């Protein structure tokens, strides 16, 4: 019954009958294998903790199947689970645990772009920037040459205070972008230009974007503009954008602090 319900996509009934089958025969390899597949499929949910719970159950059943001498090659299944565990631990910002699962995936034979992309991102999040760059370069060697990889390399160079290298890679990222306006790229590029003291270029870039109806009230872009003008010590221009942000509903410590700063500078 459990097998039939599984192939009919009735997951809850499949689980119930497969578990009953194991109560009768704990070494029923077919039921163990299907439970492993079932729990692997159940991980496809937004709640990272719950996804990890199901993935670990799937891993337990795959290992039990292997220990019983199952005929199916489960290597790809194990790699998939380790990848998904890493992804969900990264979502929870538990990067050290995520890294363990990425290395497990690699030890199982995973040598694809995805695992090294994820490992590089993971290492960047742990502020292990040189290791991250090594893995980003490995991803490129494996054939991935897209906006994401070049943007990630650019941002990593920015974080280690190498803005010229960051700019070189960000230009590659923008050139390959599949969309006309990529807000992540715009935000990162403005930070890089600011680090290079290219304030006018950063302002021009952002003003071009907010001239479009869709982006004229974008909080992040307007905040970036305000910050650039503050850095330029053009407090009147900064105030225009800070007040606009307030009108648009931004009401946080960043805005409050910068309003105080700008008003104090203008009063002198």
Grouped pLDDT means (10 residues each) for the chain, 268 residues: 48 78 88 90 84 95 91 93 96 98 97 97 98 98 96 98 98 94 95 97 96 95 97 96 96 96 89
**Structure tokens that stand for 26 in this block:** 């704990």
In degrees, rounded to 5, the angle at the alpha carbon of residue 97 between the alpha carbons of residues 93 and 102 is 105
In degrees, rounded to 5, the angle at the alpha carbon of residue 238 between the alpha carbons of residues 234 and 241 is 155
Asked if residues 154 and 186 have their Cβ atoms less than 8 Å apart, the reply is no
Task: Give first-to-last CA distance, the chain, whole Å.
Answer: 81
Distances (CA, A) of 213 to 7, 29, 191, 202, 218: 50, 60, 23, 19, 10
- The count of other CB atoms within 10 Å of the CB of residue 215 is 17
Please tell me the distance from the alpha carbon of residue 164 to that of residue 103, in angstroms, as a whole number.
32
Decide: residue 251, CB within 10 A, 0-12 exposed, 13-18 middle, 19+ buried. Answer: exposed
**Structure tokens that stand for 210 in this block:** 């907010």
Asked if residues 150 and 170 have their Cβ atoms less than 8 Å apart, the reply is yes
- The count of other CB atoms within 10 Å of the CB of residue 97 is 14
Q: What is the pLDDT of residue 45?
A: 79
Q: What is the pLDDT of residue 8?
A: 42
Question: Which residues, 6 or more positions from 256, have their beta carbon under 8 angstroms from its beta carbon?
Answer: none
Domains and CATH numbers, the chain: 1-195 (1.25.40.10), 217-267 (no CATH)
Q: What is the pLDDT of residue 268?
A: 66
Decide: residue 186, CB within 10 A, 0-12 exposed, 13-18 middle, 19+ buried. Answer: buried
Tokens 């009063």 found at: 267
């Amino acid at each position: 019954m459990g097998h039939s319900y599984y192939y009919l996509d009735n997951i809850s009934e499949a689980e119930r009958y497969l578990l009953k089958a194991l109560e009768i025969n704990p070494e029923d390899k077919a039921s163990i294998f299907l439970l492993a597949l079932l729990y692997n499929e159940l991980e496809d949910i937004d709640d990272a903790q719950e996804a990890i719970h199901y993935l670990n159950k799937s891993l337990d059943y795959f290992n039990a199947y292997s220990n019983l001498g199952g005929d199916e090659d489960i290597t790809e299944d194990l790699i998939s689970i380790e990848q998904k565990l890493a992804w969900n631990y990264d979502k929870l910002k538990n990067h050290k645990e995520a890294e363990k699962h990425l290395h497990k995936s690699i030890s199982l034979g995973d040598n694809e772009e995805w695992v090294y992309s994820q490992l590089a991102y993971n290492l960047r999040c742990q502020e292990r920037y040189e290791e991250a760059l090594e893995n980003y370069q490995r991803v490129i060697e494996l054939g991935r040459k897209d906006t994401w990889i070049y943007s990630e390399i650019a941002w990593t160079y920015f974080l280690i205070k190498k803005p010229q290298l960051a700019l070189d890679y960000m230009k590659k990222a923008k050139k390959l972008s599949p969309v006309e306006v990529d807000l992540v790229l715009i935000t990162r590029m403005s930070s890089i230009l600011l680090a290079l003291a290219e304030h006018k270029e950063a302002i021009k870039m952002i003003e071009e974007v907010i001239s479009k109806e869709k982006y004229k009230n974008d909080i992040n872009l307007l905040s970036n503009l305000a910050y650039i003008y503050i850095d330029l010590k053009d407090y009147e221009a900064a105030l225009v954008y800070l007040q606009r942000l307030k009108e648009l509903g931004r009401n946080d410590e960043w805005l409050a602090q910068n309003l105080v700063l700008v008003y104090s500078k203008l009063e002198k």
